[in-house]
Amino acid sequence: MAAVYLCRDEAGDAVAVKWLDLYLPGAGPEDETLPKPLLLRFEREVRSMAKVVHPGVVRYRGHGEWGGRPYLVMDHVEGSDLRVYADKLAQRPPAERYARCRTIGQSLCEALQAMHDAGLVHRDVKPSNVLVDPAGRVVLTDLGVVKDLAEPEQTARGIVVGTIAYASTEQLDDGEIGPWTDQYGIGATLYYLLTLERPFASARRRVEDQLAPPSRLDPEIPADLEAVILRLMAPNAADRFASCAEAAAALSTDEAPRGLPLAGRGEDVRQITAWLDGLEQQSVVIELRGPRGVGRRWLAGVVRGACAQRGLTLVEPADPAATQVAIHRAVNEPRVVVLARHPVDPQGLRHHVRSLRPLRVADLRRTVVAVAPLTEDPARVALRLHHFTGGLPALLLPQLERHVRGSRLVLPDTLQAGDELLPFLDGLDLDTSEVLGAIAVCDGGVHLSRLEAIACLPPEDAVDELLRQGLVQRVDDEVALLAEAFRQPSLDRLPDPDALRERARREAPRTRDSGADPESLALHGKLAAARDEARRRVVSARGDGDDPRVAAALIVQGQICLDMGDIQGAKTVLADASAMAKAIGDEPLRRRAHVLRARAMLDGHDLARGRGRAAAAAALDRVVPLGSGADRREDPYDALLFAMWARAASALGDRRAAVLAADRAGARLDRTPDGLHARVCLALARAARLRRDSDAAWAALARVRPDERALALVTWEVEVEEARLGGSVPPPVDSLAEGLSDEEREALAARR
């Protein structure tokens, strides 16, 4: 019914102007006249906003009519809505997520209490109606369906006012509406904020199912926080809080945070709970894998909590023999979870494996910001910590304990490790220690053939043991230390480290075969080879300690992941690339990472069918700052940047912005190199298809260069897009999938 414009008032301040698309009666064409119900809704919104003055409610500035169409002027709130914010918050450490949920809940309660004091009930509290500005201020918006308790009800019986997924029981059942009604919306919004899931998938499920507590999806949620959310969402309004003020007070209490205070573990928790939710009368084996120090003990605690929530029997055998006995029991009993920490024979049971990995650079940056928000240059601090600890929580947590002072993390010029190293190094036999020392005397990665010459013994068995102990990383036949913290202590334990250094000096490093360019391999349709070469380059650059090369290699790896349809893999490596580029101050690399992260957000949702609006908004958050500003410099990736802008705006229905962005992308196409040029054309075609402009979509595909059409991947993608436009069957993946795993084949096929 309206569009919202960013404008300037007479004082030059930014304001938001909601200008209706329809005309007042008698002011325009009859078929574009504003229906009376919508006119009444608009007038109600104006009156409601004018009655409430509170920092947590969007502020009324004025209203009127222009060109025969009504308008409303409000404060402009810079930032994103809670749907986008929730995705970002999910990447943060647990303690920060729970604390932020409390403060957001308190802010909403206080804002709604102000509305209730003014005699108003919002009736549509949900994540998309809550804005969060860069300073963290929470602002409630969209007062279009507010009920004024002093006015008679104007809604016919049987009509639900509000959004069903967040509506209270009384809204669905024609019950009495009052201040208690908004409490349900607050609780449902906080539920989503913590879990990224709606409390109920549909209205039918609300009738058939009981509300699953949020701890089913995240067993570490503090009990008192969960209790407040469940009380806010009580089906019977009498069981909710006496007022929003009372609910705000309940949210202010804070249990001591539990669990690993590190970012980057949310996906592990979500995967465990998804496996356990699938159990009915079956039993399951969950196997936890990963090197020493990576957090398997913590994840075992998550499994315990999740089993307790679901009433499942958990068995944690101590050794392989006991594990097989437990599995035999589970075969004959329902709802048994066997937690194994070594390879097992599942004997026909469901068998799920979760391999934990060290934290990535982006995870460390989020952790630093959460634990010590006033840290100077947190990206650079996180990169130093990652070099020293390898991202192993067992090494990282002691460093945080030693060097966090108040709200700042200040690292000394030289980092030192303490007793936390002993579990890694104690128990290594002499041969394994010698091989570890041989790796330590080499600055970067070392090939197995050179390693054998330095250590003077076959290294394969020792390397396998070092991998299990979390001391090294390996790709193909090249090995490197996982963490700089291991270098000097591994040498201090040897009887003659100088002999290793001398042999390393004599054994010149193997000249690395650069191999084919991964992006070129991908464009020629050799996705498996591109995937392997991209991974090899990342690990090789890490072994050499070459941060700019690591960031560039991660960006290439992210592009290959997108080509293969591996959206989560792309998001992970591109977040790392962005964090590293920021830490080393390489703005072109950071821009490229952000553009590809925007594409990952857009590729990960079915935008054409009306879903993923939050993803489109998040993608705009990525690209708009990069494409704005008078002092910005031209970049080779600008054409792709504006194509992503056009695609995101098209998904949100902002046709004008989409066309402008598409024009800016098209104006740069002639200066875009082959390969990237085709990717831009395809992105523009997808953007045009989203806004139902088939002529523009066909025109974008026609701009793909003849040389690019000879590339296997480009040919396939163009044919897929042509099939979508023409309503025909997209081509199969065929030779593109050669060498890929079954899971990778499915992801690639999903791109059709």
d(CA 467, CA 428): 12
**Does 283 share its domain with 408?**
no
Neighbouring CB atoms inside 10 A of 204's CB total 9
Report DSSP state, residue 421. G
Element (DSSP H or E) covering residue 738: none
Query: So what's the pLDDT on residue 510?
Result: 57
Identify whether residues 120 and 240 lie together within a single domain: yes
Domain boundary among 325, 355, 385: 355
The answer on 236 and 109 residing in a single domain is yes
The three-class DSSP label of residue 72 is strand
Instruction: Based on the fold, state whether residues 565 and 542 are members of the same structural domain.
Output: yes
Residue 258 domain-assigned (yes or no): no
Q: CA 497 to CA 491: how far, in whole Å?
A: 6
Q: Is residue 732 part of a domain?
A: yes
Burial 337-357 (b: 16+ CB within 10 A, else e): bbbbbeebebeebebbebebb
Residues 6+ apart with CB under 8 A from 634: none
Structure tokens at 335: 């709802």
**CA 188 – CA 112 distance, rounded (Å):** 15
Contacts for 498 with CB less than 8 Å, ≥ 6 apart: none
Please tell me the predicted confidence (pLDDT) of residue 159.
45
Same domain, yes or no, for 176 and 90? Answer: yes
Q: Write the CATH number for 556.
A: 1.25.40.10
Verify that 157 and 227 share a domain, yes or no: yes
CA atoms within 13 A on the CB side of 608: 13
Quote the pLDDT of residue 317: 92
Q: What angle do CA 102, 259, 466 make, to 5 degrees?
A: 145
Residue 181: other Cβ atoms inside 10 A: 26
| Residue whose structure tokens are 């469901």 | 350
Q: What percent of the chain has pLDDT over 70?
A: 94
Q: In what order do the strands lie in the sheet with 446-447?
A: 446-447, 478-481, 472-475
* Nearest to 516, CA basis, from 529, 504, 525: 529
- At residue 162, φ and ψ (nearest 5 deg) are 115, -175
Domain membership of residue 311 (yes or no) is yes
Last residue in a domain, options 75, 109, 131: 75
Residue 688 CA to residue 618 CA, distance in Å, equals 19
- Give the global pTM: 0.81
326 Cα distance to chain centroid: 36
pLDDT of residue 470: 92
Specify whether 88 is located in the same domain as 131.
Answer: yes
pLDDT, tens digit (0-9, with 9 covering 90-100), for 110-163: 999 999 999 999 999 999 999 999 888 999 998 888 888 887 665 544 445 567
What's the domain range around 285? 266-355
CA–CA separation, 601 vs 613, rounded Å? 10
Based on the fold, state whether residues 330 and 382 are members of the same structural domain. no
Q: Quick one: tokens of 654?
A: 């902002």
For residue 472, which of 514, 507, 422, 435 has the smallest C-alpha distance? Answer: 435
Query: Are 42 and 72 spatial neighbours (Cβ–Cβ below 8 Å)?
Result: yes
Tell me the CB-side half-sphere exposure of residue 240, using CA atoms within 13 A: 26
Amino acid at 467: L
Question: What's the pLDDT at 174?
Answer: 80
Q: What is the CATH number of the domain that holds 11?
A: 3.30.200.20
Q: What is the Cα–Cα distance from 193 to 529, expressed in whole angstroms? A: 40
Which residues, 6+ apart, have CB-to-CB distance to 657 below 8 Å?
A: 645, 649
Q: Provide the terminal-to-terminal Cα distance of the chain, rounded to the nearest Å.
A: 34
Q: Cβ neighbours of residue 176 under 8 Å, at least 6 residues apart?
A: 170, 237
Question: How many Cα atoms sit within 13 Å of 139 on the Cβ side?
Answer: 26
State both tokens at 314.
């958990």
**Where a domain ends, among 444, 472, 506?**
506
User: Which segments in the chain show pLDDT lower than 50?
Assistant: 156-159, 256, 259, 607-610
Task: Please provide the DSSP assignment of 524-583 as one string.
Answer: TT-HHHHHHHHHHHHHHHHHHT-HHHHHHHHHHHHHHHHHHT-HHHHHHHHHHHHHHHHH
Radius of gyration of the chain (CA): 29
| 3-class DSSP assignment, residue 115 | helix
pLDDT value of position 431: 93
Q: Are 109 and 184 in contact (CB under 8 A)?
A: no
Element (H, E) at 124: none
Q: To which residue do tokens 């553009």 refer?
A: 595
Helix (H) or strand (E) holding 246: helix 244-252
User: Which H/E stretch holds residue 631?
Assistant: none
- Give tens-digit pLDDT for 711-726: 999 999 999 999 999 9
**CATH number of the domain enclosing 489:** 1.10.10.10
Helix, strand and coil in the chain, % to nearest 5:
55, 10, 35
Q: Does residue 374 sit within a domain? A: yes
- The packing angle between helices 430-440 and 460-468, to 10°, is 80
Provide the CATH number for the domain around residue 155: 1.10.510.10
Of 392, 153, 431, which is closest to residue 294 (Cα–Cα)? 392
Cα–Cα distance, 201 to 40 (Å, whole number)? 31
pLDDT for position 156: 45
Q: What is the DSSP string of 464-531?
A: HHHHHTTSEEEETTEEEES-GGGHHHHHHTSS-HHHHHHHHHHSPPPPPP--S-HHHHHHTT-HHHHH
DSSP state of 135: T
What is the number of structural domains in the chain? 6
The pLDDT, as a whole number, for residue 512 is: 53
Write a three-state SS string for 154-183: CCCCCCCCCCHHHCCHHHHCCCCCCHHHHH
Q: Provide CB contacts within 8 A for 663, sequence distance 6+.
A: none
Question: What is the C-alpha to C-alpha distance for residues 441 and 664, in angstroms, rounded to an integer?
Answer: 52
Residue 158's pLDDT is: 43
Does one domain contain both 411 and 445? no
257 domain-assigned = no
Q: Which two tokens stand for residue 405?
A: 């002072």
SS (H, E, C) 341-387: CCCCCCCCCEEEEEECCCCCHHHHHHHHHHHCCCCCCHHHHHHHHHH
Q: Output the CA angle 519-522-527, nearest 5 degrees.
A: 135
For residues 188 and 120, state if they share a domain.
yes
Q: How many CA atoms lie within 13 A of 685 on its CB side?
A: 23
Residue 512 lies in a domain: no
56, 172: one domain? no
Q: Is 429 inside any structural domain? A: yes
**What is the predicted pLDDT for the residue at 154?**
57
Would residue 259 count as lying in a domain? no
Q: What is the DSSP code (8-state) at residue 717?
A: H
| Alpha-carbon distances of 137 from 94, 99, 106, 128, 204, rounded to whole Å | 20, 14, 11, 15, 35
| Cα–Cα dist 156/524, whole Å | 61
Tell me the one-letter amino acid at 374: L
Q: At what angle do helices 694-702 and 676-690 cross, to 10 degrees?
A: 170
In whole angstroms, give the CA distance from residue 723 to residue 717. 10
Structural tokens at position 64: 């009127």
Query: Are 344 and 380 found together in one domain?
Result: no
